[in-house]
Structure 1
Amino acid sequence: MSTNPARVLIVDDSALIRQMLTELLSADPGIEVIGTAQDPYVAREKIKQLNPDVITLDIEMPRMDGLEFLRRLMALRPMPVVMVSSLTQQGADATLQALEMGAVDYVAKPTQDLQHGLAEKGRELAEKVKAAAAARVRVKQAPKVRPSSTLTPAAGFSSTEMIVAIGASTGGVEALTEVLAALPAASPAVVVTQHMPASFTSTFARRLNGICAVNVVEATNKARILPGHVYLAPGDQHLRISRSGANYVCSVGGQDRVTGHCPSVDVLLHSVANAAGKNAIGIILTGMGKDGAQGLLQMRTAGAKTLGQDEATSVVYGMPKVAFEAGGVETQLPLGKIAGRILDICVKEKGGAVRV
């Protein structure tokens, strides 16, 4: 990895925000702010002149909005982009669109007391910018309508009682979309923790539900976990699973930070290890940090099958790497093969023939 500072271009129509972001990022020795731009047209010229490693991009700007600029940028000159967007419902939807188009990450812009709120996010912003500088930009348009799954269960397939638990962070919006959209309607039940603010997860669940054959919902407390359904942890609460008689149910609650996050992947995976044991599959996808490593190790120790996204297809090979090095990952796979492996494991565990 390069030891040179990440060279950043800040794109925002507000002079105050450009100044604040410049000061916040410049305080980190691992970052050099090489320029600012008040709109995408100025940004386009500065990208040509300065060749930045990373762009921070506002969504609402004059002359051309951030989404349209991002779409053109990813088509002509793909590069790491960190979105800076509001926590409003409209902001959440636009940010998810940006992540689906290839933006690496985002920082939520506070809606009140902007100066103090942004200052509090200085460390988060700097860490995300540095991670973006080292990220692999994968440009992919998400499906626009609910498709037929790209996979068909093999003979002998059964999803009964199997639980699939997935954790993701940076790059996870695109990665989860690819994995879940490839699953057939008859898939095993899936529980997911994706690092995301509270105002984003309900929007993300709705967007996934519109493009997947499985039913995707934001998890609610005591909801029964059913095959063919995906349950996404709310952005400000932990998701656990527990047994209720013969059924698995969602347990949603608690706002303490575990491994630095709420919701936490570790919290989810520990609960799956305890409740489902060997009748589960644990998966760590792209992400920054170490959340999920210990939970996945506990799942593997309990007899579950465990998978990790490989380095080549991870936007940020942080969480999968730590989980692999800790011994929690049994098999590393490219992102495009994970959905198929889920179905193969279900076949094998039920005594059927594994698909080739």
Structure 2
Amino acid sequence: MKKKVLVVDDSAFMRKLISDFISASEEMEVVGIARNGEDALVKIKKLSPDVITLDVEMPKMNGIEALKKIMSECPVPVVMLSSTTKEGAEETIKAVQYGAVDFIAKPSGTISLDLHKIQEEIVRKVYSASLVPISKLLGNPFSSSNYPEKRNRHKEMANPALKCEAAPQMNDKQNPALILIGTSTGGPRALQHVLTNLPSTLDAPVAIVQHMPPGFTKSLADRLNSLARITVKEAEHGEYLEKGTAYIAPGGFHMRIMNDESNLMVHLTKEEPLRNGHRPSVDVLFESAGNLGGCNTVAVVMTGMGSDGTEGLRKLKENGNVTAIAESHETCIVYGMPKSVIAAKLADEVVNVEGIGHSIMKYMR
């Protein structure tokens, strides 16, 4: 049976294009269209779609307000369509916060005449979202009320996840520690869980690849930085890694970690081709860490489509002292990347997302 799709956009042109793309798919059919958030709520209750495409920028009720109402009144998987402006990026990160499964960046603004360039991405992401159980999207793990305020970040909460009695100690002066994280669809929510469970005294840097297009990773880093007790930032080319700081690879750039004398340094490039359909790629990050020598590494693979990270982890394990953690099927929004790692027998632990921070800390002093 085909998945039922509701297309929501204030532009008739965009509604037509998106509907045509989805209707051309053998797995999906468009059962309705809506011009704004108010219209969408009525259509959802009437048509019971399996998934919705929702424009961020709309009159009457914008995409964010519509999403909040949808998730509270008639929850259904949602894929947001957004422009790549600074405001659009910030609103998109909010959308993920309020329960959107994924988002798609329009190639040239609110009304993109060249939307055909991303036809394959639209079909793939909308279909993937239609398979996500709504139970995994409910609740708001991003709420700042769930976490200590940034100004209190050095005052650690009484959290048993941060106690590491009898844990293997992997961090010492001769062998510094490095934490690597790779994720894709559903990643912002998963990163929220993990980074907010790491203490400000974390004795290692964190390097992160989150599959996102250019223009969105800065907003994600700023949002996570406002909640986590460690520092979270978008990585910059040539900067040295500092303990207690997480570096998110910028969209459109591969990120490698390299040795510069006794320091670990970020190397960014956008000249190399996509790997596994992505730039940044988790494989590229993991492979680079395998060339460092002397680092004790924790590598984490979380929710996402595809298998990015598996081959990189394989090479990392061949070349270094590595503990690999995969997110469990139970908490993954999309059980693709972790499933691939587990199937390849590369995972040392399989953990629900809420416990990944604790698992990381087992290997830290």
The question of a shared fold, defined as TM-score above 0.5 by the shorter chain, is answered with yes
**CA distance in 2 between partners of 1:37 and 1:114 (Å):** 16
Helix, strand or coil: the match of 1:43?
A: helix
Deviates more, 1:101-110 or 1:293-302: 293-302
Query: How far apart are residue 111 of structure 1 and its match?
Result: 2.5
1:289 pairs with 306, 315, 332, which one?
306
Deviates more, 1:297-306 or 1:316-325: 297-306
**CA distance in 1 between partners of 2:38 and 2:110 (Å):** 29
Query: How far apart are residue 158 of structure 1 and its match?
Result: 7.7
**CA distance in 2 between partners of 1:73 and 1:158 (Å):** 46
* Residue 280 of structure 1: aligned partner: 297
2:197 pairs with 167, 182, 195, which one?
182
* Residue 138 of structure 1: aligned partner: 137
**CA distance in 2 between partners of 1:13 and 1:115 (Å):** 13
The TM-score normalised by the length of structure 1 is 0.92
The Cα offsets for residues 146-194 of structure 1, whole Å up to 9 and x where unpaired, read as 3645543546878552100000000001111111011111112100000
The Cα offsets for residues 76-107 of structure 1, whole Å up to 9 and x where unpaired, read as 33221000111111000000000111100011
**CA distance in 1 between partners of 2:187 and 2:180 (Å):** 14
Gaps of 5+ in 1: 348-356
Query: How far apart are residue 212 of structure 1 and its match?
Result: 0.8
The residue correspondences of 1:105-184 to structure 2 (distance < 5 A) are 105-111=102-108, 114-136=111-133, 137-139=136-138, 140-144=140-144, 145-146=149-150, 148=153, 151=159, 152-154=162-164, 161-184=176-199
**CA distance in 1 between partners of 2:40 and 2:250 (Å):** 35
Say if 2:257 is the partner of 1:241.
Answer: yes
* Residue 345 of structure 1: aligned partner: 363
Helix, strand or coil: the match of 1:345?
A: coil
The residue correspondences of 1:1-356 to structure 2 (distance < 5 A) are 4-111=1-108, 114-136=111-133, 137-139=136-138, 140-144=140-144, 145-146=149-150, 148=153, 151=159, 152-154=162-164, 161-187=176-202, 188-255=204-271, 256-276=273-293, 279-301=296-318, 302-347=320-365
* Residue 350 of structure 1: aligned partner: none
Query: How far apart are residue 343 of structure 1 and its match?
Result: 0.6
**CA distance in 2 between partners of 1:158 and 1:321 (Å):** 26
Helix, strand or coil: the match of 1:121?
A: helix
Cα distance, 1:346–1:200 mapped onto 2, change above 3 Å: same
**CA distance in 1 between partners of 2:77 and 2:205 (Å):** 33
1:337 maps to amino acid: G
1:295 maps to amino acid: G
1:138 maps to amino acid: L
1:8 maps to amino acid: V
Q: Percent identity?
A: 36
Name the Cα RMSD after superposition. Answer: 1.9
Deviates more, 1:216-225 or 1:262-271: 216-225
**CA distance in 2 between partners of 1:18 and 1:154 (Å):** 53
The Cα offsets for residues 114-135 of structure 1, whole Å up to 9 and x where unpaired, read as 5542111110000001110112
Cα distance, 1:153–1:189 mapped onto 2, change above 3 Å: farther
Report if the CA contact (8 A) 2:141-2:192 is conserved: no
Report if the CA contact (8 A) 1:159-1:186 is conserved: no
**CA distance in 2 between partners of 1:118 and 1:199 (Å):** 18
Query: How far apart are residue 25 of structure 1 and its match?
Result: 1.0
The TM-score normalised by the length of structure 2 is 0.89
Report if the CA contact (8 A) 1:294-1:328 is conserved: no
**CA distance in 1 between partners of 2:332 and 2:109 (Å):** 35
Count of residue pairs the alignment pairs up: 344
Report if the CA contact (8 A) 2:182-2:282 is conserved: yes
Report if the CA contact (8 A) 1:282-1:299 is conserved: no
Query: How far apart are residue 264 of structure 1 and its match?
Result: 0.5
The Cα offsets for residues 269-320 of structure 1, whole Å up to 9 and x where unpaired, read as 1111221566000010100111111112222333300000000100000111
Helix, strand or coil: the match of 1:23?
A: helix
**CA distance in 2 between partners of 1:165 and 1:115 (Å):** 36
**CA distance in 2 between partners of 1:92 and 1:206 (Å):** 11
